Amino acid sequence: MNKPDFEQFLKESLEQTKDIAPRRDLWKGIENAIASAPLEDKQSSYWPKLTGIAACLLAGLMAWQVVLNQPQQNTMTNMSAFFEQQKQSLLVQYEAQPALTSDWQAQLAELESAEQAIKAALQSDPENAALLQMLAQVYQQQLDLINKVHEPRWQQI
Amino acid sequence: MLIDANQALSNTEQTPIDELVRKVQQGDQQAFEQLYRKHEKRVYGLCLRLLASPEYAEDVTQEVFVQLWHKIAQFKGQSQFSTWLHSVTSNIAISYLRKHKNWLQKVVSIEGSGMNEQSVDMCHGLNGLDKLVVRLPERARLVFVLHAVEGYRHEEIANMLGMAVGSSKSQYHRARQLLQEWYDNE
């Protein structure tokens, strides 16, 4: 039997059912999440997250101020000092709050190794704008990760 | 209170969607499980096609229904519930993809790849076209699924993906070319 041409194959395939069953029952995780986080309690849980997001945004803006306004100084050192302060603030803020995954510190270590690689490259070219941008983004990733794993909603799944 | 999954499925077939949605909006968790059983395969299927990863698709399916529980009050019935649910699913899946790019992909804008052929063979539930779609590169795959499978217009897709309308059209063309090439070589 001849294979149908592509257009016919496409038409027939798109008309078929779009259902695919997941490999496992996902309901249990959903049930746990919605049972443990009733709507009224969710309102207050937004505040730590909002605070974290605001801190990240502020950190990003301040970092670019450092990059744009202080080209004569050691930009990498200034940026690093600023982000390290932000990171420590977040870690202190979430100290008493359990994290979603147990391996988040390994993920953080991976980002920190990327940070070290970029810093090493900056040693030989301290004002390289592309490297500075990469460094800022890696710092931002670290702050996002810390926020993400401490986000209350995900802890329930 | 928990109910048996089979009972929930059986009830699903008897209760109209509008009635289930109304009950869920009043905080009825049993009705919500019925709503989940009714839509889980469609939502998971969409997630799997968009994300090309069973693990990501499972995560996002759960995330969709958790968010649905909290946001269902926003559903006012102007569109069909399934249309609204697909829109919520698509947006959460796209957002998930953005968040899960590694730092290098974000910094240098490397496009995510699709599944390799070996992974496709091990992924159950995919029909002939799906097996090709999940191999597409990320942008071409997203555009193809949203346009050809889900019926979004290129203007809508451009808005969802943060790209130009022309880019959406060219990614769709690219997807079709790749799909045809793979299909012809099968």
Q: Are the CB atoms for B49 and B130 separated by under 8 Å?
A: yes
Query: What is the largest distance, in Å, between two alpha-carbon atoms of chain B?
Result: 53
Asked whether residue B8 falls in the same domain as residue B94, the answer is yes
- Name the residue among B70, B106, B124 with its Cβ closest to that of A137: B106
Asked whether residue B96 falls in the same domain as residue B129, the answer is no
Q: Are the CB atoms for B69 and B55 separated by under 8 Å?
A: no
Asked whether residue B89 falls in the same domain as residue B145, the answer is no
Asked whether residue B96 falls in the same domain as residue B108, the answer is no
B33 touches chain A (CB under 8 A): yes
Q: What DSSP state is assigned to residue A141? A: H
Q: What is the pLDDT of residues B80-113, one digit of tens each?
A: 999 999 999 999 999 998 887 655 555 555 566 7
Q: Which residues in chain A have Cβ-Cβ distances shorter than 8 Å to B106?
A: 137, 141
B125 touches chain A (CB under 8 A): yes
Asked whether residue B1 falls in the same domain as residue B86, the answer is yes
Range of the domain at B164: 104-186
The number of domains in chain B is 2
* CA separation, residue B113 to residues A8, B51, B56, B99, B181 (Å): 27, 10, 14, 16, 17
Asked whether residue B96 falls in the same domain as residue B6, the answer is yes
Mean predicted confidence (pLDDT) in A74-95: 80
Which residues lie below 8 Å from residue A119, measured CB to CB, with a gap of 6+? A76, A80, A135
Asked whether residue B62 falls in the same domain as residue B84, the answer is yes
* CA separation, residue B167 to residues A87, B51, B104 (Å): 38, 20, 23
Mean predicted confidence (pLDDT) in B41-67: 94
- The packing angle between helices B29-51 and B81-99, to 10°, is 50
Asked whether residue B90 falls in the same domain as residue B8, the answer is yes
**Distance, CA of B83 to CA of B30 (rounded, Å):** 22
Q: Position A99: which residue type?
A: A
Q: Over 90: is that where the pLDDT of B117 sits?
A: no
Q: Which residues in chain A have Cβ-Cβ distances shorter than 8 Å to B126?
A: 20
Task: Name the E strands within chain A.
Answer: none
Q: Over 90: is that where the pLDDT of A134 sits?
A: no
pLDDT of res. A15: 87
Percent of chain A with pLDDT over 90: 11
pLDDT of res. B4: 45
Q: Over 60: is that where the pLDDT of B9 sits?
A: no
Asked whether residue B96 falls in the same domain as residue B166, the answer is no
Residue ranges of chain A whose CB lies within 8 Å of a chain B CB: 3, 6, 9-10, 13-14, 16, 18-27, 29-31, 33-35, 39, 42, 111, 114, 133-134, 137-138, 141, 144, 148, 153, 156-157
**Rama region for A125: left / alpha / beta (φ>0; ψ in -120 to 50; rest):** beta
Percent of chain A with pLDDT over 70: 72
Query: Chain-wide mean pLDDT for chain A?
Result: 76
Is the pLDDT higher at A95 or at B145?
A: B145
Query: What is the largest distance, in Å, between two alpha-carbon atoms of chain A?
Result: 74
**Distance, CA of B172 to CA of B95 (rounded, Å):** 20
Asked whether residue B130 falls in the same domain as residue B181, the answer is yes
Q: Among A5, A12, A20, A141, pick the best mutation site for testing chain B contact (most B Cβ within 10 A).
A: A20
Calculate how close chain B gets to A28, using CA atoms only, in Å: 9
CA-nearest residue of chain B to A35?
B29
ipTM of the complex: 0.79
Opening angle at CA B74, ends B69 and B80, nearest 5: 90
Asked whether residue B89 falls in the same domain as residue B120, the answer is no
Asked whether residue B61 falls in the same domain as residue B122, the answer is no
* CA separation, residue B20 to residues B16, B83, B115 (Å): 6, 16, 37
* CA separation, residue A32 to residues A27, A102, A104, B141, B184 (Å): 9, 19, 22, 32, 47
Q: Which residues in chain B have Cβ-Cβ distances shorter than 8 Å to A141?
A: 103, 106
Q: Over 50: is that where the pLDDT of B44 sits?
A: yes
Q: What is the pLDDT of residues A30-65, one digit of tens each?
A: 998 888 655 544 444 566 666 667 776 776 666 666
Domain of B125: which CATH number?
1.10.10.10
